[in-house]
Copies of this chain bind each other. A is one copy, B any other.
Amino acid sequence: MIGRTHGIHAEPTTFGLKLAMWLMEVRRATERLTRAREVVSYGKLSGAVGTFANVPPRVEEYVCAKLGLDPEPISTQIIQRDRHAEYLAAIGIVGSSLDKFATEIRHLQRTEVREAEEPFSEGQKGSSAMPHKRNPVSCEQISGLARLLRSNVQAGMENVALWHERDISHSSVERVILPDGTILLDYLLAKFTEIVKGMRVHPERMRQNLAATHGVIFSQQVLLALSKAGASREAAYQMVQRNAMRAWETGEEFQSLLLADPEVRAILATAEIESCFDLGYHLRHVNAIFQRVGLA
């Protein structure tokens, strides 16, 4: 499929590479959440100001062991809130990754692109008025709800600077953002898993879109071939540019224009020109990338 930078066709890539990239980001997310869970899995029973005035440390150790928590080595009336801020930040960042994945699908599902779509059950109505309309509403919901997870991080960081041995300003905030943030991320992860499982992918549209710019996406190889065959960089650039621009504007095939350009033909043979339009050239390292990430 075509790779896009700035929303503009750039060079070929593969859909598998997109998914492999997501996989790696999901692995980072898993690691981040695992660590965040550890960071908050502490308990305390050290009394009103953390001195164990009336209950000795061994009670804390006993109770925490029962609860599957580590005893916080030193605490005030509470466990310090940098731990919870880190937990909320992990959730906010993972939500932002899901937002990115969802945004990719939303782009690919655009009417003009239509390379992939979030799942759509047969009976589902896209729109009562326009029966063909299939909207990426689940992905949009993920993009939206990630904003909530991000904004929770702000409140979580403001909770860190409590007064002395504690004030209770963090408590009302945490009653909202700790359960809501955790449950919401769980929902988004479940939702996105469903989306990936049922995603519809349209390889024929990917091929059509690859061809939509009439071959100009291969202009860089032509440039390199001309240079290699002896043309000055400047001359090569001009030859490529005038033909690429014409292909872009008129819809003529870039390859045909090059084959018909006497100046180009004086340097490159037909086969040499044709070999520039080779998807395989772009994709020859794909397997090496899959090997890097343990998928090949």
A residues with CB within 8 A of B? 2-14, 17, 20-21, 24-25, 28-29, 32, 35, 39, 47-54, 56-57, 73-77, 80, 82-83, 85-86, 89, 92-94, 96-97, 99-100, 103-104, 106-107, 109-113, 129-137, 140-141, 143-148, 150-155, 157-173, 176-177, 209, 212-213, 216-217, 219-220, 223-224, 237, 240-241, 244-245, 247-248, 281-283, 285-286, 288-289, 292-293
Task: Tell me if A129 and B220 are in contact (CB < 8 A).
Answer: yes
Chain A binding surface SS class: helix
Q: Which of B3, B74, B131, B137 contacts A245 (CB 8 A)?
A: B131
A161 touches B99 (CB 8 A): yes
Q: List 8 A-B contacts (CB under 8 A).
A: A7-B109, A8-B136, A10-B77, A97-B160, A131-B237, A131-B241, A132-B216, A147-B159
- Copies of this protein, total: 4
Say whether, besides A4-B165, A12-B51, A132-B216, A21 and B112 are in contact (CB < 8 Å): no
**A80: nearest chain-B partner, CB-CB:** B25
Given contacts A4-B111, A112-B212, 4 further A-B contacts (CB under 8 A): A3-B49, A7-B110, A13-B50, A150-B158
Please determine whether A223 and B104 come into contact, CB atoms closer than 8 angstroms. Answer: no
On whether the beta carbons of B172 and A219 are closer than 8 Å, the reply is no
What B residues does A35 contact at CB under 8 A?
35
Contact A106 B7 (CB under 8 A): yes
- Which 4 A-B pairs give the minimum distances between C-beta atoms? A3-B49, A6-B135, A144-B169, A96-B160
Cβ of B145 and Cβ of A172 under 8 Å apart?
yes
Bound Cα distance from A289 to B71, whole angstroms = 11
User: How many angstroms between the C-alpha atoms of A51 and B10 in the bound complex?
Assistant: 12
